């Protein structure tokens, strides 16, 4: 399926966004970093704070980026914006109002994979973008969908059992959308989003299956 815009228009949106919202990008990085630290060193209020940060990030992407900037070149951005706003409201409601989300780093596959995705979303993605030749302001800074979705997938892997699985639906769907930018627009760093989505889905499915069917210990 062809896109209704070309690479120059796509990167032009990044330029306009980064020029207008500066220095909000730095604030979003600080908030995200603080949220990840709270999952490692929790406090009584950590889960609501982490959920609030994730909700803010998704509402920001939906309202500011998709509706405020991306919709100028892509009519589908209105749909994307609505889905991102839904995800933000869902995260905010589940974490801050209903107290259904608990974020904890635990050693193991989920914990390690989550940590790698969090680190990549915050630091690895901009370094990869620079390595493939994309320079600020014509690049996706944190707070834009691709790096922020990778970060979110990492944080969601740190959720304690009992969290609703559907909260992953929008981030995983967006990770699949990243393939179009990578292949049709030459945004090679967005291949990392596709990989992040696939890895998160596999790790989540395997961990849920193991939780549902724990091994029985047979005394010897």
* Residue 11 pLDDT exceeds 70: yes
- Contact yes or no for 113/154 (Cβ under 8 A): yes
Structure letter (DSSP) for residue 219: P
* Residue 148 pLDDT exceeds 80: yes
* Residue 207 pLDDT exceeds 90: no
Percent of the chain past pLDDT 70, that is, above it, reads: 95
Taking only the tens place, the pLDDT of each residue in 168-185 is 999 999 999 888 888 888
Provide the pLDDT for residue 117.
98
Taking only the tens place, the pLDDT of each residue in 18-36 is 999 999 999 999 999 999 9
Provide the pLDDT for residue 217.
40
**What residue segments make up the domains of the chain, in order of their start?**
7-211
- Residue 73's pLDDT band, with cuts at 50, 70 and 90, is very high
Structure letter (DSSP) for residue 139: S
What's the whole-model pTM score?
A: 0.94
- Give the range among 108-112, 121-125, 195-199, 212-216 with minimum mean pLDDT: 212-216
* Residue 70 pLDDT exceeds 90: yes
Mean per-residue pLDDT of the chain? 93
Crossing angle of helices 191-212 and 145-157, in 10° steps, is 20
Provide the pLDDT for residue 215.
58
Beta strand segments in 21-95, E: none
Taking only the tens place, the pLDDT of each residue in 192-206 is 999 999 999 999 999
Tokens at 57, concatenated: 């990030």
Tokens at 48, concatenated: 């609501």
Provide the pLDDT for residue 103.
97
Task: Determine the Cα–Cα distance for residues 78 and 71; give it in Å rounded to an integer.
Answer: 6
Taking only the tens place, the pLDDT of each residue in 116-127 is 999 999 999 999
Indicate if the alpha-carbon torsion angle 146, 169, 43, 206 is positive or negative.
negative
Percent of the chain past pLDDT 90, that is, above it, reads: 84
């Amino acid at each position: 399926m062809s896109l209704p815009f070309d690479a120059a228009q796509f990167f032009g949106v990044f330029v306009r966004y980064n020029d207008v919202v500066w220095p909000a990008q730095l604030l979003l990085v600080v908030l995200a970093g603080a949220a990840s630290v709270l999952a490692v060193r929790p406090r009584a209020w950590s889960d609501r704070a982490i959920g609030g940060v994730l909700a803010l990030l998704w509402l920001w992407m939906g309202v500011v980026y998709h509706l405020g900037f991306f919709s100028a070149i892509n009519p589908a951005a209105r749909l994307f914006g609505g889905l991102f706003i839904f995800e933000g409201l869902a995260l905010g409601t589940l974490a801050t109002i209903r107290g259904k989300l608990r974020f904890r780093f635990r050693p193991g596959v989920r914990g390690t994979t989550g940590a790698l995705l969090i680190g990549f979303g915050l630091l690895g993605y901009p370094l990869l973008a620079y390595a493939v030749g994309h320079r600020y302001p014509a690049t996706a800074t944190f707070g834009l969908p691709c790096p922020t979705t990778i970060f979110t997938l990492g944080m969601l892997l740190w959720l304690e059992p009992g969290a609703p699985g559907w909260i992953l639906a929008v981030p995983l769907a967006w990770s699949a959308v990243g393939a179009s930018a990578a292949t049709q627009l030459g945004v090679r760093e967005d291949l990392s989003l596709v990989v992040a989505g696939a890895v998160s889905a596999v790790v989540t499915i395997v961990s849920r299956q193991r939780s549902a069917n724990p091994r029985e210990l047979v005394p010897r």
